[in-house]
Structure 1
Amino acid sequence: MRIDILTLFPDMFSPLHQSIVGRAQEKGLIDLHTHDFRAHATNKQRHVDDMPYGGGQGMLLMPQPIFDAMDSFSHSQARVILLDPAGKKFDQKMAETFSKETQLVFICGHYEGYDERIKTLVTDEVSLGDFVLTGGEVAATVMIDAVARLIPGVLGKQESYEEDSFSSGLLEYPQYTRPEMFRGMKVPDVLMSGHHENIRKWRLKESLKKTLERRPDLLETYDASTEALKMLADLRHSSKASTDVVE
């Protein structure tokens, strides 16, 4: 995948040259390019923003530097993502969709917003969440990291991300490693049993339990199997029984 980033601060993307995403670039799985669109400013002061027509607070990014920056590289088949607080909220499903593209372009804004004509370049307006950042760089870094790890070959095994929280529709089950006993805390016996079917059932139940307790909203769209539905019914019954005892 080729990833192009339009930004005023290219150095803010240095974390993407480290760790797993950095190694993916070394392997040729990801081709990352940053473009400082201030280099395309045509005015004497090299400004990329101006006051909005009709008045109002703050400054807006002008269309010319963005359009000229886009013209500087090929993107005819790209998915062009505008980082915008008013955009659709980014989630795992969107990351999976983006990971299937051959090229992504991220436009990182600053100031109070964009000239509306910039949006004619865009295929997706995306927000990291219901809060406002000083610019789009941090949000773009998070999104690129989330997408990159889903590209085949970036992680060691496909299962590494298929069982992640949100990929399966559930929060991930608890995990343990050595030592078996640590400061009086013991690894659950089922994980030491070597019985793969029992381990699978334990993990599914624990994922359901954690999701029910912490993110019950995820269960509204979870495609539950008959086995999972029965486990959920048992968990809800146990939870209600515990509440009744307390009351």
Structure 2
Amino acid sequence: MFNLWIALAANLVCITVLVYAVYFPRYQRRDLAIAYVCLNVGIMLVTMLLSGSGAGMGLGLGLFGVLSIIRLRSDTLTQGEIGYYFAALVLGLMNGLHPDPAWLSPVLSAALVAVLYLADHPRIAPRTRRQSITLDRAYANEVELRDALESLLGGPVTRIEVISLDVVRDMTVADVRYKTPTPAALAAKSSASIGSTESNPMAGTEPALSTADLEAVLFDASDATSAAAPLHAQSHS
């Protein structure tokens, strides 16, 4: 009985830290935070009941496996969110079994939370990104495709997987791994654009009319005035 209470306390503390101190500040999804807590507590309670009854543990774990697959297929989750999902499931199963000695479940639960905290830390590869991009041109040449993607994304492209190349509709769909530009590069680019604007203060404004254009405008205006003069005279007569 002592092992049960220790495991229950360890599970509640670890799932609270995992969801509300690690997951939610990084992903900001309240619906999944609630789902993780409900899944964890529900699995732990049912595992405790099955471990103390005559029902087979294999049957109970199989049912929860089916329910987990249904839950994962009902919404779009990122791979990181799936990792948190299975961590919540493992915490519930491990503490629901409350094995001997009593310190084993709390130690393993804390180790799981610590590993997930470190593995998903924002400082690990902070500039690495992944996107599925659709381009309005069919790029059969990988060098041209890489140049176009780097110009679009503003950073170095590390890997390209062409998903679809449609030469009829002139379209390319690619799965791209890239790195965002560093703050120093962004600052240099911003200062360069500001310097070019200061060196050419007329940039972005409409050019002045040339002498030939001005003469043409005056000539058209004089023609319009001479054409309107007879009409004005007829109206007075």
Same fold (TM over 0.5): no
TM-score by length of 1: 0.28
Greater strand proportion: 1
